[in-house]
Amino acid sequence: MKDDAKKPDLVVFNEETQKYDASIKPYGTSSSSPVIKPLNTASWKNDGIQRVNKQLKSKFDEVKKEYESLMEKFQYNDLIYNAKFSFEPIFGENYHLYNNKNGEPFLSIIEPSQCSFEYLGSFRLNTDKMWEKIES
């Protein structure tokens, strides 16, 4: 026969199993049990926050640097593809970008030492048709 009366709070009775299970609890269940005091976790949290912030900042800086590099590549590829040239560039060859007298960019095979126009940079065309800046 099932006892439907609610047990007092100090009695540890499991309603699901219908058993007294105070002895298998991972904590003290009587009023004479030691007090459970929460640990001071402030230093642990602060250390964790500092480590996470440092890691996230590092990752952010890495992504920002990659973004800036991609934007630079996009800008000079956009500039070259909008520049004037009357030849089909060959993959792997070096080309030089200049501004003409009207300030319009044009692509040439002439070396900067042999040209009097405003020199903007030297580039090489990859097989994926992306221009790569050549550092002098």
- Beta partners for 105? 99
Residue 8: predicted pLDDT: 67
Which residue is associated with the tokens 């956009």?
A: 78
* 97-134 per-position pLDDT tens digit: 999 999 999 999 999 999 899 999 999 999 999 999 99
Separation between Cα atoms, residue 96 and residue 108, nearest integer Å: 5
Number of domains in the chain: 1
Residue 51: predicted pLDDT: 96
- Under-70 pLDDT residues of the chain: 1-4, 8-10
Residue 98 lies in a domain: yes
Residue 38: predicted pLDDT: 80
Alpha helices in the chain (DSSP H): 42-81
DSSP letter assigned to residue 84: B
Residue 119 lies in a domain: yes
Residue 126 lies in a domain: yes
- Beta partners for 108? 96
Residue 23 lies in a domain: no
Residue 27 lies in a domain: no
Residue 33 lies in a domain: no
Residue 30 lies in a domain: no
Instruction: Sort 122 into a burial class: Cβ within 10 Å, 0-12 / 13-18 / 19+.
Output: middle
Look up residue 24 and give its two tokens: 């298998």
- Phi (first) and psi of residue 35, to 5 degrees: -70, 135
Residue 2 lies in a domain: no
- Domain limits at 84? 77-135
Residue 24: predicted pLDDT: 78
Amino acid at 35: V
